[in-house]
Homo-oligomer: A and B are copies of this chain.
Amino acid sequence: MRLHELAAFLEARYEGEADYEVSGIAALEKAQAQHLSFVASEKYLKQLAKTAAGIVVLSPALNEHFSGNKILIDNPYLAYARLSALFATRVQQVEGIHPTATVADTATIGDKVSIGPNCVVAEGAVIGANCELYAGCYVGERVEIGDDCLLYPNVTLYHDVKLGSQCLIHSGTVIGSDGFGFAPTAGAWTKIHQIGSVHIGNKVEIGSNCSIDRGALENTLIADNVIIDNLVHIAHNVQIGEGTAIAGCVGIAGSAVIGKNCTVAGMVAINGHIEIADNTHFHGGTIVTRGNREGGQFASTAPMMPVKDWQKNSVRYRQLEKWVERIQALEKAQKQNDK
């Protein structure tokens, strides 16, 4: 890729040798002459001064700080994201249905679809145009997948699941398994069949080995532009609002409703049947026991300590109520003294 082509792709201004060619992207401190790099913020001016990158993407405000080949654009980090597509290493899968795939006669397959080895597409399923299903994906009965979706190997979509367009699902992820619903029955459990499904919007990306359960009576709902990392558990009837980002190892219990544009950091657990406002941000490891009415930043974890301190402080934490009572007693005694 040449400088002028990259700038044209971004619809941005460039300075330098128009035909300068790069073959990869690298961070400022690692980049060589054959690399494109970028300055995400002013924090990186030191690295910029020393970089060997062949082309740098930076904001016009920082123009004076770099004299080499450059692309000037307002949001260089976003520009980097867009440029990364040009250097992606994924191999497009071969169009058509692989001979080892099992596709039901009643399934509807869109134009230019790739269905990889050992995929199974069950009765009544509908797969939109330009979808790529890698090997071993299972698409259950009556599933609907929009256009331009990408399913990596061994994704499982249970019956009746709906996926919008431009979704990307990573390997091992299961969508539509039964919600965890049982009626207690004298030391045993009677299964509540999960009659709802899972409806997922457009431009949703879901990481590897996630589990998203179908609803008990209504559907589990994931709105447009939601992004979900790996090993995330989403229980039945959860609703996740547009643009919300959920990091790895998060668990969301049944019927929780998460607002729009929230960020949920890693290993957060969200209680069932609560409502989280738009623009709420949970720090890593937060145990979210109640809902909120207004966005904001929340956390719940105890601080990390050397084990020796942790052992002592843990004992004190277990006695906290008692120590508070002793403070109150001291205050009372002091008041008596003051009289």
Chain A residues engaging chain B, CB cutoff 8 angstroms = 24-27, 30, 75, 77-78, 80-82, 84-85, 87-91, 98, 100, 102, 116-118, 120, 122-123, 134-136, 138, 140-141, 152-154, 156, 158-160, 168, 170-174, 177-178, 180-183, 185, 187-195, 197, 203, 205, 207-211, 213, 217-218, 224-225, 227, 229-231, 233, 235, 242-243, 245, 247-249, 251, 253, 260-261, 266-267, 269, 271, 283-290, 296-310, 312-321, 323-324, 326-327, 330-331, 333-334, 337
| Contact in complex: A230, B243 (CB < 8 Å) | no
Within the complex, what minimum Cβ distance (angstroms) separates A152 from chain B?
Answer: 7
| Contact in complex: A102, B102 (CB < 8 Å) | no
The CA-CA distance from A250 to B80 in the complex, in Å, is 30
Instruction: Identify the closest chain B residue to A267 (Cβ).
Output: B269
Within the complex, what minimum Cβ distance (angstroms) separates A276 from chain B?
Answer: 11
Q: Is the interface of A mostly helix, strand, loop or mixed?
A: loop
| Contact in complex: B269, A288 (CB < 8 Å) | no
Which listed residue, B138, B190, B305, B324, touches A135 by the CB 8 Å rule?
B138
Q: List 7 A-B contacts (CB under 8 A).
A: A24-B195, A81-B182, A172-B211, A180-B247, A289-B301, A303-B314, A303-B318
Which listed residue, B173, B249, B297, B304, touches A233 by the CB 8 Å rule?
B249
| Contact in complex: B307, A316 (CB < 8 Å) | no
Residues of B within 8 A of A315 (CB): 303
Which listed residue, B231, B271, B303, B323, touches A300 by the CB 8 Å rule?
B303
Residues of B within 8 A of A123 (CB): 91
Contact flag A180-B229 (CB < 8 Å), given A81-B192, A287-B267, A305-B300 = yes
Residues of B within 8 A of A288 (CB): 304
| Contact in complex: B285, A284 (CB < 8 Å) | no
Which listed residue, B98, B230, B301, B320, touches A211 by the CB 8 Å rule?
B230
Which listed residue, B122, B180, B306, B309, touches A321 by the CB 8 Å rule?
B309
Contact flag A152-B158 (CB < 8 Å), given A138-B135, A267-B287, A326-B331 = yes
| Contact in complex: A312, B304 (CB < 8 Å) | no
Within the complex, what minimum Cβ distance (angstroms) separates A1 from chain B?
Answer: 13
